[in-house]
Structure 1
């Protein structure tokens, strides 16, 4: 459905109008019902099907859209972006044309930013994981520049394969992209997206995953760098027995905007999902946004789902928006729930550490380190985990200067 189709209206039948309901002078609002849930959002790969962003839309209202004009309304360079993928057995890397049948299987944009990137790209970068022996593939994007770019990436795990794919983003960039993930039946795939951009970088990224029968998919986001980072994963558990897990860790400094909108779609019986995002904020104007949407469809009986977001505020002048949403269309489920909390240090934790001879400054570092490393340690690649731990140490060192 396109946006244009979504706004079509029909006149009410005679005698069914609500008493006292009259059209206002600002438009025919009486016959237009706003989108209330994630599952009702219009979708399209054509940017022309979406109106220009004002910042008042539900999907954009927490984002500094005034700084995104080049990516939302400008002309994007859709040529190949520079990527480096070290050769490894069991993983292949290639470029495919935009009309290739392997594109468009995992999801479709729900907003203008993603549609603009989809409309502009000329070729997609395809990474394929195959074979039952576990394989790790690292995709490095570190040679972009400040020119507005569009990109499209497809990651596929063939049936019964096992793998880890790490997307490493560093340097300067003004990038809008779509990432599709296709997890075959019985496959086990972990995809990690690491944002360690320079302070001037702007990155809009929409991830779409479809998970096969009895397959398992783990999606991990680590956002530590970039002026504006907006990464929105949508995981669709489309086949019976599918398992989806989404983890996120983020550390926002002064003036930095880090946003993650997570969608977990249960669209088959006996599916399971877990969502855990944890963030820390320090410095004037540091802003994080987490929105978690879970949909349990009518046919998803036996679903087991839980989502949570935790934010640790280290200094005054920060803002953390945290919004969990749960939509359930069937009563035949194993369980579903959500939780959200934002606060300062736990005084009991600090007291416990200080009572054992640890200074208050070091105690605070230990608390933050343990808070975020719960997510970092899910990655499963020692070198990447060590590098990110060092990055977090550097962030904490800045906070004590």
Structure 2
């Protein structure tokens, strides 16, 4: 009897212990299987739950046109995807939280982009998503399928105002090379939660960008599984948070296959009262991922008092036969030596600070190979810096 009571007590206690590791999180296509998020869960404790609350409601979208979608792609790339059981949809995507399960359920038809096998698309495929109503909830499920030995770039551009829950399912088949850039240039009242899940095949590569500049609350969480031998992923992020903005990314990189390589670099700048960024980076090197090489880093530059940057890198290694693995995180203010160097050459303090911030963020911007997007981001960063005040 005593042993039974102890076992029951331990089971009850374990049931109350929050799941800490990313690989252990439950998945479900049914929103009811996920409780309403609270600050108790490790994946929600740093999020702005109050402003994200509309995305926790499992009801039909309030307006079918709350977010309009425009696709600019070569003929045959945008293919039909009707119904929750449409081909390819759900091949790799498994909702890990309530908003992504709602987005799955309420987006009966997916936007499916199929990049043709063996072809190189010289021009990027562009998907423009524009919110038309800041008070209306909307959802979307997007499938990006890079067929074997294809080479392409897909740009997802978000503008306007909306309450938007979104899934992005990315399949990079053997030998393919895919770049996906998600640009959040929302108006100041938009609320956006997105789950990006990707699987990369044998000798294939994925370059993934998350660029968040606009929106009241933006939460874009990329998850990448390097499943094939010799697969490779580079995950880059850039954000600039102003007063009252909450910009968040929780990154998961799972080295599953042997001889895989991964590199994660996210950078943020923050200015203004209650400007906040959140970055959580989880890397798992699985038991079969021998000869893996992995590194993740997050850098944050706090420009004014009242701003806050949370940065949590995590690394799990299940095999001792790796080429290398590491992680780093740094949050701070201006480098006094850099400022002194610039000011000693006759550059004003305000201009010196502008140059330091610009140089800090350009490391990410310069990696973007789409010329007009890169130029637009430089202009956007410059516009942010024009409002920077010298303490």
Asked if 1:107 corresponds to 2:93, the answer is: yes
Of the candidates 324, 334, 342, which is equivalent to residue 335 of structure 1?
324
Q: How does 1:46-195 map to 2 (within 5 A)?
A: 46-77=30-61, 79=64, 81-88=67-74, 91-92=77-78, 94-130=80-116, 131-135=118-122, 136-146=124-134, 147-195=136-184
Identify unmatched segments of 5+ residues in structure 1.
Answer: 1-10
Task: Please list every run of 5 or more consecutive structure 2 residues that lacks an aligned counterpart in the other structure.
Answer: none
Conserved 8 A contact 2:170-2:198: yes
- 1-structure distance, mates of 2:304, 2:37: 32
Per-residue deviation, residues 99-142 of structure 1 (Å, max 9, x unmatched): 10210122211111211211211110011222432331111112
Contact 2:84 2:105 survives alignment (8 Å): no
TM-score by length of 1: 0.91
Q: 1:91 to 1:354 in 2, by over 3 A?
A: farther
Structure 1: distance between partners of 2:20 and 2:43: 11
**Superposition TM-score, scaled by structure 2 size:** 0.93
Secondary structure of the structure 2 residue equivalent to 1:312 = strand
Measure, in 1, the Cα distance between the counterparts of 2:242 and 2:212: 11
Shift of 1:32: 5.3
Q: CA RMSD, aligned part only? A: 2.2
Q: In the alignment, which residue of structure 1 is the partner of 2:23?
A: 39
Tell me if structure 1 keeps the 8 A contact 2:266–2:299: yes
Alpha carbons of structure 1 residues 201 and 239: separation in structure 2 relative to 1, 3 Å: same
Are the equivalent residues in 2 in contact too, given 1:282–1:313 (CA < 8 A)? yes
Alpha-carbon contact 1:85-1:93 (below 8 Å) kept: no
Q: Deviation at 1:12?
A: 10
Corresponding residue number in structure 1 for 2:259: 270
In structure 2, the partner of 1:211 is: 200
Q: Aligned pair count?
A: 385
Give, in whole Å, the separation in 1 of the partners of 2:148 and 2:309: 39
Cα distance in 2 for residues equivalent to 1:103 and 1:336: 33
Match of 2:343 in 1: 354
Please list, as runs of the form range in 1=range in 2, the aligned pairs for 1:21-32 lying within 5 A after superposition.
Answer: 23=9, 28-29=12-13
Deviations 1:182-217 (A, max 9, x none): 001111100000001000000000000000100010
Once the two structures are TM-superposed, the CA of residue 166 in structure 1 deviates from its matched residue by: 0.4
Whole-Å separation in 1 of the counterparts to 2:216 and 2:374: 23
Q: Could you list the per-position Cα deviations for residues 250-275 of structure 1 after superposition, in whole angstroms to 9, with x for gaps in the alignment? A: 00000000000000011111100000
- Using the alignment, how far apart are the partners of 2:14 and 2:197 within structure 1? 34
What SS does the corresponding residue of 1:85 show, helix, strand or coil? strand
Partner in structure 1 of residue 249 of structure 2? 260
State the distance in 2 between where 1:164 and 1:12 align.
62
Answer whether contact 1:76 1:150 (CA < 8 A) is retained. Answer: no
In structure 2, distance between residues paired with 1:172 and 1:328 = 41
Distance 1:30 1:138 in 2: 46
